[in-house]
């Protein structure tokens, strides 16, 4: 029992040290330190594989002279590390004089290697590096050492993925902010900005959000749920930022259209509070809500009004380090056909100075640069919210005292809901599964490998068969000989894009199979272009997997 406890404690210390690595250099150094503390040998090192140059680079080592390290790096691919990298399998050699399998040649060294262990560092089915240990003594290593090193390699790969994602996201954020600066200088760049933003960021973001949601459901990654949660929250925040920018641009161009439907303001606020539950709990904030008993179901643009409430509540949580937040809805005027309501969000946060309160509704503005550095954001949320409320015929105002808190108040008069339509009854889960798994065949026309990976993962969960075509021409060739229940069509692809392919399928092949357009572009005319080409429906990336599934079911049943 004591051995097991010591072993568990050792694994815990390894996990803490490696997981706290905040850079690739730090990760390599921490891993090397762990290896040296656990297994004291004459020679140890960590190689990382550079795919572009096809080389194993010796990132850290113990026991090499400078000349030996250079020689080891040059010949690594021809020796044991190279074999392990190519075959993605570990090597355990207890005595080189007895075991002549795999590889026997070695670089010249001051002493002869008698035992060795090499462990691959794997991620996404690729080998990104090698942990290697050598000794002049025979039988120095055993399965215990292999299991410890495998554990170190697993932790290394997980942290490596998080660091790569973090760096990638920071680069995208930096690129995004540079685009914003260009927009501020000239509106002529706006259309190009929107197209690039949608395609270059929404496409990988769609995969990140989709895979993180799939991983949340996996029982095999319980230890990594915190990392997955951070990945999911960061992705959703970036997606929200992109949506804010797109809506702001539409307002600037007078292109934002409102779609009125029945809404429950109370339900909207409760859902908003629930969506921020994790952030509220982390800060240990007290959040209360109260509603006027006379409050009716009303007519408004559900998505836009919800966006405003989310923006204001998000700011309240962001700028309140401790204390409480209250949300209330009062009926100010009640007529036969309308209700004038006041939605108030109060917090005990950092507040705003009198001098700066006038600029917070201006685009790209925050109280000062210190706020931006500490709390982040682009300063678009409040400007967008005020514009949306104005479009809905209401007013958004603020009262605030520095270091005491703020009060945001929406006053708006809306029509009462008269013809209240019930939500469409969705099929029970077992029937949904039946609809999609009755030997259903889907053609996915997509050139992005990450999105192909995501759809394949979803197809396994939904029990459907998916065939891949990486461009419109390939899709047409497949459709000449095969039939499908549904086609998922990316819009922007090489050789032949989704619009041209769809038009050819409808006009030349005379195929009426439902086609759902999938695109990372989100400018005004995109949806109409897809429908004009002959697509049955249109979904913007990043898409919600449940929404896509329901849309597929609806089209297959019809």
Three-state secondary structure string covering 412-447: EEEEECCCCCCCCCCCCHHHHHHHHHCCCEEEEECC
Nearest one of 378, 329, 401, 403 to 174, comparing CA atoms: 378
* pLDDT in the model for residue 430: 45
pLDDT above 60: residue 211: yes
| Mean pLDDT, range 329-334, rounded to an integer | 95
Q: How confident is the model at residue 328, as a pLDDT?
A: 95
The distance from CA 187 to its chain's CA centroid, rounded to whole angstroms, is 29
Please report, to the nearest 10 degrees, the dihedral formed by the alpha carbons of residues 265, 268, 269, 273 taken in order: 170
Which of residues 371 and 163 earns the better pLDDT score? 163
Looking at residues 278-300, what average pLDDT do you find?
Answer: 91
- CA 184 to chain centroid, in Å, comes to 27
The arithmetic mean of pLDDT across residues 264-283, rounded, is 86
- Write out pLDDT tens, residues 475-489: 999 999 999 999 999
Mean pLDDT of 63-87: 86
- In sequence order, the β-bridge partners of residue 489 are 445, 517
Q: Which residue has the higher pLDDT, 205 or 237?
A: 205
What is the band of 519 on the pLDDT scale with cuts at 50, 70, 90?
confident
Residue 428 has a pLDDT of 47
pLDDT at position 426 is 44
* Alpha-carbon separation of residue 304 from 196, 391, 441, 540 (angstroms): 24, 10, 37, 17
pLDDT of residue 122: 92
Residue 62 has pLDDT above 80, yes or no: yes
Report the percentage of the chain scoring pLDDT > 70: 75
Provide the pLDDT for residue 327: 95
Q: What is the pLDDT of residue 429?
A: 44
> Could you read off the pLDDT of 248-258 as tens digits, one per residue?
555 555 556 77
Q: Is the pLDDT of residue 146 over 80?
A: yes
When mean pLDDT is compared over 140-154, 307-321, 498-512, 540-554, the highest value belongs to 498-512
Read off the pLDDT band of 352 (50, 70, 90). confident
Reported as type and span, the H/E element at residue 332 is: strand 324-334
**What's residue 239's pLDDT?**
63
Question: What are the φ/ψ torsions at residue 516 (nearest 5 degrees)?
Answer: -105, 120
pLDDT value of position 443: 95
- In this structure, how many other beta carbons lie within 10 angstroms of the beta carbon of residue 497? 19
More confident: 218 or 538? 538
- pLDDT-derived band at 492, boundaries 50, 70, 90: confident
- Record the pTM: 0.44
**Residues 290, 292, 296, 301: is their CA dihedral positive or negative?**
negative
> How much is the pLDDT for 415?
93
Burial class (CB in 10 A: 0-12, 13-18, 19+), 25: exposed
Check pLDDT > 50 for residue 3: no
Beta strands in 126-199 (DSSP E): 126-135
- Burial class, 10, CB count within 10 angstroms (exposed 0-12 / middle 13-18 / buried 19+): middle
> What value does the mean pLDDT of the chain take?
80
Q: What is the pLDDT of residues 227-252, one digit of tens each?
A: 666 566 556 656 666 666 666 555 55
- What pLDDT sits at residue 346? 95
Whole-number pLDDT of residue 467: 94
Cβ–Cβ contacts within 10 Å for residue 154, how many? Answer: 16
Q: Check residue 233 and give its pLDDT.
A: 57
Pick from 5-19, 45-59, 69-83, 259-273: least confident: 5-19
Helix (H, G, I), strand (E, B) or coil at 79: coil
Whether the pLDDT of residue 331 is over 90: the answer is yes
What pLDDT does residue 412 have?
A: 95
SS3 126: strand
- Other Cβ atoms closer than 10 A to 409: 17
pLDDT score for 544:
75
Provide CB contacts within 8 A for 492, sequence distance 6+.
199, 498, 519, 520, 521
Query: In the predicted model, is pLDDT for residue 104 greater than 50?
Result: no
Q: What is the pLDDT of residue 485?
A: 92
Nearest to 377 by CA among 363, 389, 390, 391: 363
Q: For strand 486-490 and strand 441-445, is the pairing parallel, antiparallel, or unpaired?
A: parallel
**Mean pLDDT for the stretch of residues 386-409:** 91
What is the percentage of the chain residues whose pLDDT exceeds 90?
Answer: 30
- pLDDT surpasses 90 at 337: yes
The pLDDT assigned to 431 comes to 47
Residue, of 89 and 166, whose pLDDT is higher: 89
């Amino acid at each position: 029992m004591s051995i097991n406890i010591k072993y568990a404690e050792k694994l815990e210390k390894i996990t803490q040290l490696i997981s706290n690595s905040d850079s690739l250099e730090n990760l390599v150094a921490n891993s090397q330190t762990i290896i040296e503390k656990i297994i004291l040998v004459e020679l140890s090192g960590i190689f990382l594989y550079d795919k572009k140059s096809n080389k194993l680079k010796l990132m850290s080592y113990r026991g090499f002279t400078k000349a030996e390290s250079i020689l080891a790096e040059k010949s690594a691919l021809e020796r044991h590390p190279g074999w392990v990298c190519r075959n993605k399998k570990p090597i355990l050699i207890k005595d080189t004089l007895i075991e002549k399998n795999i590889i026997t040649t070695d670089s010249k060294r001051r002493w002869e290697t008698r035992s060795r262990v090499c462990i691959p560092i794997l991620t996404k089915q690729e080998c990104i590096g090698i942990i290697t240990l050598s000794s002049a003594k025979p039988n120095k290593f055993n399965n215990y050492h292999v299991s410890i090193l495998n554990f170190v390699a697993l932790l290394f790969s997980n942290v490596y993925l998080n660091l790569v994602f973090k760096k990638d996201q920071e680069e995208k954020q930096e690129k995004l902010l540079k685009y914003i600066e260009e927009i501020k200088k000239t509106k002529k760049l706006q259309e190009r900005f929107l197209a690039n933003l949608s395609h270059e960021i929404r496409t990988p973001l769609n995969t990140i959000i989709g895979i993180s949601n799939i991983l949340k459901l996996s029982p095999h990654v319980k230890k990594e749920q915190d990392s997955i949660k951070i990945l999911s929250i960061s992705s959703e925040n970036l997606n929200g930022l992109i949506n804010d920018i797109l809506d702001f641009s539409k307002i600037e161009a007078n292109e934002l259209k409102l779609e009125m439907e029945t809404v429950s303001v109370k339900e909207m606020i409760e859902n908003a509070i629930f969506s921020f539950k994790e952030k509220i709990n982390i800060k240990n904030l007290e959040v209360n809500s109260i509603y006027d008993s006379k409050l009716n179901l009303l007519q408004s643009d559900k998505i836009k009004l919800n966006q405003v409430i989310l923006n204001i509540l998000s700011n309240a949580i962001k700028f309140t380090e401790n204390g409480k937040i209250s949300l209330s809805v009062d009926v100010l005027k009640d007529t036969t056909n309308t209700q004038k309501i006041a939605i108030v969000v109060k917090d005990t946060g950092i507040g705003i100075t009198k001098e700066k309160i006038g600029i917070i509704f201006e685009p790209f503005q925050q109280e000062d640069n210190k706020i931006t550095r500490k709390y982040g954001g682009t300063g678009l949320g409040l400007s967008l919210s005020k514009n949306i409320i104005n479009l809905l015929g209401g007013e958004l105002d603020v009262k605030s005292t520095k270091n005491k808190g703020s009060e945001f108040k929406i006053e708006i008069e809306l029509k009462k809901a008269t013809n209240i339509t019930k939500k469409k009854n969705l099929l029970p889960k077992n029937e949904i599964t039946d609809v999609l798994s009755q030997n259903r065949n889907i053609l996915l026309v997509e050139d992005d490998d990450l999105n192909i990976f995501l759809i394949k993962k979803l197809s396994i969960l939904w029990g459907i068969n998916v065939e891949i075509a990486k461009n419109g021409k390939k899709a047409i060739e497949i459709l000449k000989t095969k039939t499908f229940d549904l086609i998922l069509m990316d819009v922007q692809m090489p050789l032949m894009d989704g619009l041209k392919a769809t038009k050819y399928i409808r006009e030349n092949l005379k195929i009426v199979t439902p086609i759902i357009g999938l695109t990372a572009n989100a400018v005004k005319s995109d949806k109409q272009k897809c429908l004009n080409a002959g697509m049955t429906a249109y979904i913007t990336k990043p898409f919600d997997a449940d929404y896509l599934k329901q849309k597929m079911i609806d089209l297959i049943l019809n």
